[in-house]
Amino acid sequence: MAESLASVFFNQIKGAENSGKFLEDLVANKQTEQEWIEFKGCYPKNPNWDDSAKKAWSENLSAFANTGGGVLIWGIDAHKNDEKIDAAHKLALHDNPAVLKTRLAELQLDATDPPVSGFAIESYPAPSGDGNQGFVVCYVPESSNKPHAARHSTNKPCYIRIGDSNVVCGISMLRTLFYPRLNCRLAVDIRALGWKGGHPAFIVNVINGGPSTADDAFFTCHVGQNMQWHLTKQTEMFLTTQNGNGLRSTYPLHPGMVWNVGECLLTIASLPTILTFHCNLFIRGMEPQEAKLVFRQPEIAPDESVQKQERFIPAEYP
């Protein structure tokens, strides 16, 4: 895996002949904040600074971990430049960077939910300081356990990094963070077989038309009628839910594969005008999916054989 810009920059600071001078030069060069760089001035004499620092640490941990990683530099104040981008403006050093380094490490476990792992913190004296003053530099890697909520921010939101800012995640971005890797295009296929033993019969299949494997597939189906399942070797009865019988695939559903769930018989006294199959599908690493297939009375007559297919879409929950 290629090294991130944040990791390269952090190691560049750490490996510099004089790390403090390197950091001071960021102000002289008016280094801009970017998706992977953030500056924070230190004002420990301000009575509200500890709470402000705790909130900033929480939000930046969340934003960097949820995006591509980043470097948070304490000891530099940033202001908007002529292009309206935050840039290093002046030194705002901490009086005792070793104390701040310890404090941030202590806060880390409680700063986000879940905690961010793999971070690193270094402190450096400032050549222009009074001998005690200096910087604290924090490296936050991109997380493989997204999303991370900022616990010390109001309403504990999840942040992402966009440009030079931390931005609260919207619903669509949260979906991406929760379910980032799988791209299974799943469909349910139901074919009416006519009648068997005086009952409407149907064959039910689940199809994976996408490029990713659907692992640990769990399928429920209900029609508001009693259902008797005759399952194939690909399926096991797992449990009964309010959405019908829970059926689990005994094999991963690889791209292009068809899961032949089984045959079901509806034990009904009379044939309804409309028969609606409400299907739900749960795949490890994907958000819950739902699909609905409707058969009208002429389509489920004893001498008919009608096949219908519907794509699963993300389920809507109140």
Q: Which domains does the chain have, with CATH numbers?
A: 5-178 (3.30.950.30), 186-314 (2.60.40.2230)
73, 65, 62, 134: CA torsion to nearest 10:
-10
Say whether pLDDT at 195 is over 70. yes
The number of C-alpha atoms within 13 Å of 284 and in the hemisphere containing its C-beta is: 10
Q: For residue 192, what are the β-bridge partners?
A: 202
Lowest mean pLDDT among 90-94, 116-120, 170-174, 246-250: 170-174
Among residues 76, 66, 62, which one has the least CA distance to residue 33?
Answer: 76
Say whether pLDDT at 93 is over 90. yes
What pLDDT sits at residue 236? 87
The helix (run of H) or strand (run of E) holding residue 9 is helix 5-15
Which residue matches tokens 């992977």? 36
Q: What pLDDT digit, counting tens, does each position of 216-244 carry?
A: 899 999 887 788 889 998 898 766 655 56
- pTM, rounded to two decimals: 0.60
* Angle, helices 19-28/5-15, rounded to nearest 10 degrees: 120
Cα distance from N-terminal residue to C-terminal residue, the chain: 40
